């Protein structure tokens, strides 16, 4: 089923062999809690994971991962851990991953899940709007929830030459942006419309 999903993502335009290889490796069914729904794990769709959140669609995970262009050993910050699926893909790409989730139950479940699966990521319960200044700077930052605007903290915490991949827009529909931080500037490119659950500022849930 995973091989079929990889073929589907190729047909839909994903070309990065390392990303496709990571998708082919990570057992997505283990990121869906209710085993009755495991058969949906390799359908190219988002799926509910509790706390009114969703595991991102595989195509979206692949697309963002391709844009992020992670090199082994790079320090990556993810905002919106959710199920941890994107986190696991980043680990497979060889990144040193930090990930922030605002919902404590999701943070706790995912922390255990990733540890059980032997994925070593540094998970934090908190507000991703602020980034993670104690561990900055990061080579790459990926936001996996729809942001109303680009949080300045996330740009500030990038290395020079670093990239931020972030969907920006209102409820239900956002445009994917890739922002490259240069010595003097931030260079922004747009990559089409997507649909994410909202990025919520200042509302960390216990």
Catalytic residues: 56
Closest CA to 128 of 108, 106, 147, 105: 147
For residues 69 and 163, give the distance between their C-alpha atoms in angstroms, rounded to a whole number.
9
Cβ-based nearer residue to ligand SAH, 102 or 184: 102
Distance in Å, CB of 91 to ligand SAH, minimum: 13
Cβ-based nearer residue to ligand SAH, 129 or 177: 129
Cβ-based nearer residue to ligand SAH, 56 or 174: 56
Distance in Å, CB of 54 to ligand SAH, minimum: 5
Distance in Å, CB of 194 to ligand SAH, minimum: 12
Helix spans in the chain (H): 2-11, 17-25, 58-68, 85-92, 104-116, 152-156
> Which phi-psi region, left, alpha or beta, contains residue 59 (left: φ > 0; alpha: ψ -120 to 50)?
alpha
Distance in Å, CB of 180 to ligand SAH, minimum: 22
Q: Three-state SS for 91?
A: helix
- Is the Cβ–Cβ distance between 187 and 160 less than 8 Å? no
CA distances from residue 173 to 154, 155, 169, 198 in whole angstroms, order as listed: 21, 22, 6, 9
By beta carbon distance, the residue nearest ligand SAH is 82
- The site for ligand SAH (CB under 6 A) is made up of 53-56, 79-80, 82-83, 85-86, 100-103, 106, 127-129, 144-145, 197, 199-201
Closest CA to 77 of 156, 173, 188: 156
Cβ-based nearer residue to ligand SAH, 127 or 139: 127
């Amino acid at each position: 089923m995973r091989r079929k999903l990889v073929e589907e993502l190729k047909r839909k335009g994903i070309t990065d062999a390392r990303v496709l290889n990571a998708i082919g490796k990570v057992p997505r069914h283990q990121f869906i809690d209710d085993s009755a729904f495991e058969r949906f794990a390799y359908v190219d769709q988002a799926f509910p994971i509790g706390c009114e959140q969703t595991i991102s669609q595989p195509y979206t995970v692949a697309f963002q991962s391709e844009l992020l262009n992670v090199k082994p050993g790079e320090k990556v910050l993810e905002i919106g851990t959710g199920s941890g699926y994107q986190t696991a893909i980043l680990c497979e790409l060889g990144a040193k991953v930090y990930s922030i989730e605002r919902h404590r139950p999701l943070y706790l479940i995912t922390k255990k899940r990733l540890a059980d699966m032997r994925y070593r990521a540094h998970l934090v319960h908190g507000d991703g709007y602020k980034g993670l200044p104690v561990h900055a700077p990061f080579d790459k930052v990926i936001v996996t929830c729809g942001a109303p605007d680009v949080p300045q903290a996330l740009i500030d915490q990038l290395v020079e030459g670093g990239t931020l991949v972030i969907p920006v827009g209102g409820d239900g529909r956002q445009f994917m942006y890739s922002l490259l931080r240069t010595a003097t500037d931030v260079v922004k490119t747009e990559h089409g419309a997507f649909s994410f659950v909202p990025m919520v500022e200042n509302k960390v849930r216990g």
